[in-house]
Structure 1
Amino acid sequence: MTTPETRSLERRMGDWARARLPFALAEFAMFVLKQGWACLFGGLLLVAIIATKLVWQPEWPLQRYDFLFLFAVATQAVFLATKLETWEEARVILLFHLTGTAMEWFKVSAGSWAYPEAGVFVVLGVPLFSGFMYASVGSYMARVIRVFDMRFAPYPPFWTTVILAVAIYVNFFAHHFGPDIRLLLFAATVGLYARTRIWFRISDRDWWMPLPLAAILSALALWVAENVGTATGTWVYSGQLPGQMVSFAKLGSWYLLLYVAFVTVTLVCRSAVSAEAAPLAVKPGYK
């Protein structure tokens, strides 16, 4: 759980916004601030990617990829030491980190994308900091659930969500050898989660959003981050020209991968899911 100091900071920020802004604007401002707070790990990693691209010199004794790896390890250590993440959450985030790294090894060997720079902390052509990019997605999901007091209802049977997540993950590998079933998987995400609402609290009121819509918006944010990665030359997709934007098809890939990350995180956030139409944490009459 978060520290009392973290909760106190969030309350002070909310009190400041509500004292100076109309209700709707204050809620929006706090929504943006809380989202930024939730994606702190990924945001710091993205800033490090941009900053190192601007200042790094080839003659420096430490390679840029190696610095990014050490920076990510240090950041994760600080998150645990300050209780911004719990050890239980960290174990599940590590699982997503490892599955992401495994996919990186496969995709790089298959020629889907490449990492053009050198480094010591590189295995099978993949710099080890890349696993932290997946970990940052898991970190965001774990933190955003906590920061917004999220509940997911009505939630489908958990075993069905696990089967779908496994099918999505396997297809990222299998489509290189056989048919690509991502259209079927898109339909499955909508069919399974169509009724599921994400209930969340910004200040003292509950709001909701359809889960598939939240996945689309999150995928869009990750697509923007991917453009930052390719614009800085940190990784390059096969056939991508210098200055060219990442294909919109990657939106679909991230949309599907987000369900893998979400199901992984719900392994430790089971109290956030409810089979009922609305979770008990939601007060009657709130929308």
Structure 2
Amino acid sequence: MKGLKQLIYFGWEQALSCIFPVVIFVSLALTKMIELPLIPRYDWLLLICLLMQWLMVRTGLETMDELKVITVFHLIGLALELFKVHMDSWSYPEDGYTKIYGVPLYSGFMYASVASFLCQAWRRLEVELVNWPPFLVVVPLSTAIYLNFFTHHYWLDIRWYLSGLVLIVFGKSWVLYKVNGIRYRMPLALSFLLIGFFIWIAENIATYFSAWEYPNQRDAWSLVHLGKVSSWLLLVIVSFLIVATLKQVKGNMTNSKVNTNSI
């Protein structure tokens, strides 16, 4: 019973951390079933995301520092969307006033929602990292993973080599988290895989409600290929590395300030 109670508590904390993604999914479903007036669906989704982001900060569910991190992810995701839509990897077939080169601006919030989840789960579960690799290793690796999403269209797809590097670099790294006052730990690589898998499930829900569509879904919806888990896995790694690096930088700055004040 104690284990079940802890699992339920953990699930509740995870659910609270997913508020932004849940709002996006609910909005996708409702705007698919109900035709809203005045402006196209994609524009309504952008307004809903903007309002939700404002409410998250206004109510204290997100801090200003977290908002800055989320904004970075919004821009990173939007850049990736512009390129992938141009390469016909997927498309946004509906009309919208807030579309740039075929990409609706609300799409950046789908990436931002992943960052929102990571930031909130980090804070709620009091996450700590053990055996975190050096900064000079983490930054080039995350950069290489992100660039491979672009370069594999013109060169070799090295995602599997990068995945191998992740296992080598983070093979001894652990994530510590607290559930209802009890500390647990998990191999960092396993946490990457689990988050990537659940995002793949979310992707299937999103494409079902026409958030975007892949070429094989243009005639009728079909399950997103399981191979996409590897793409989300790598994207989650980039997201996690950026969040972890920024938090460590902020932690070092805070410690330096405390030490200076003590002196």
TM-score by length of 2: 0.92
Query: Residue 216 of structure 2 aligns to a residue in which SS?
Result: coil
1:123-202 map, 5 Å = 123-202=100-179
Match status 1:270 vs 2:248:
yes
Shift in Å, 1:228: 1.1
Dislocated runs of 4+, deviation >4 Å: 271-274
The answer on 1:212 being equivalent to 2:189 is yes
- The residue number in structure 2 matching 1:261 is 239
1:29 matched to 2:8: yes
Quote the Cα distance in structure 1 between the aligned partners of 2:18 and 2:243: 15
Whether the 8 Å CA contact 2:216–2:222 is kept in 1: the answer is no
**Residue pair 2:29, 2:209 contacting (<8 A) in 1 also:** yes
Identify the residue that residue 281 of structure 1 maps to in structure 2: none
Residues 51-81 of structure 1 show CA distances to partners (whole Å, capped at 9, x for unaligned) of: 1111126xx3221111110000010001111
| Separation in 1, partners of 2:209, 2:199 | 15
Specify which structure has the higher proportion of helix.
2
- SS of the residue aligned with 2:39? coil
**Partner of residue 29 from structure 2, selected from 11, 33, 50:** 50
Tell me what 2:99 maps to. 122
- Percentage of identical aligned residues: 35
SS in 2 for 1:201: strand
Structure 2: runs of 5+ lacking an equivalent: 253-263
Check if 1:237 corresponds to 2:214.
yes
SS in structure 2 at match of 1:136 = helix
| Letter paired with 2:15 | G
Deviates more, 1:248-257 or 1:234-243: 234-243
| Contact 2:28-2:209 within 8 A present in 1 as well | yes
Q: CA deviation at 1:159?
A: 2.1
Contact 1:68 1:129 in 2 (8 A): yes
Q: Which amino acid counterpart does residue 222 of structure 2 have in structure 1? A: Q
For residue 272 of structure 1, report the CA deviation from its aligned partner: 9.7
Which whole-Å deviations, capped at 9, do the CAs of 1:22-73 have from their partners, x for residues lacking one?
311110000100000111111111111111111126xx32211111100000
SS of residue paired to 1:233: coil
The separation in 2 between residues aligned to 1:262 and 1:228, in whole angstroms, is 23
Partner of 1:89: 66
Q: How far is the alpha carbon of 1:266 from its aligned partner? A: 2.0
Query: Deviations along 1:121-154, whole A, 9 cap, x unmatched?
Result: 1111000000000000011111110000010111
Residues 93, 265 of structure 1: 8 Å contact kept: no
The CA distance in 2 between the partners of 1:159 and 1:92, in whole Å, is 20
Residue 271 of structure 1 and its aligned partner are, at CA, apart by 7.3
**Would you say the 8 A contact 2:28–2:210 is kept in 1?**
no
Number of the residue aligned with 1:248: 226
Q: How does 1:33-112 map to 2 (within 5 A)?
A: 33-56=12-35, 60-112=37-89
State the one-letter code of the partner of 2:227: A
Q: Distance in 1 between matches of 2:32 and 2:86?
A: 25
Separation of aligned partners in 2, 1:50 and 1:215 = 27
Q: Number of matched residues? A: 251
Q: TM-score, normalised by structure 1?
A: 0.84
Tell me how far 1:87 sits from its aligned partner.
1.0
The answer (yes or no) to whether the contact 1:89–1:268 under 8 Å persists in 2 is no
Which amino acid counterpart does residue 147 of structure 1 have in structure 2?
R
- Tell me the alpha carbon deviations over residues 213-266 of structure 1, each in whole angstroms, 9 at most, x when there is no partner: 111111111111111121112211123351310011110000000111112212
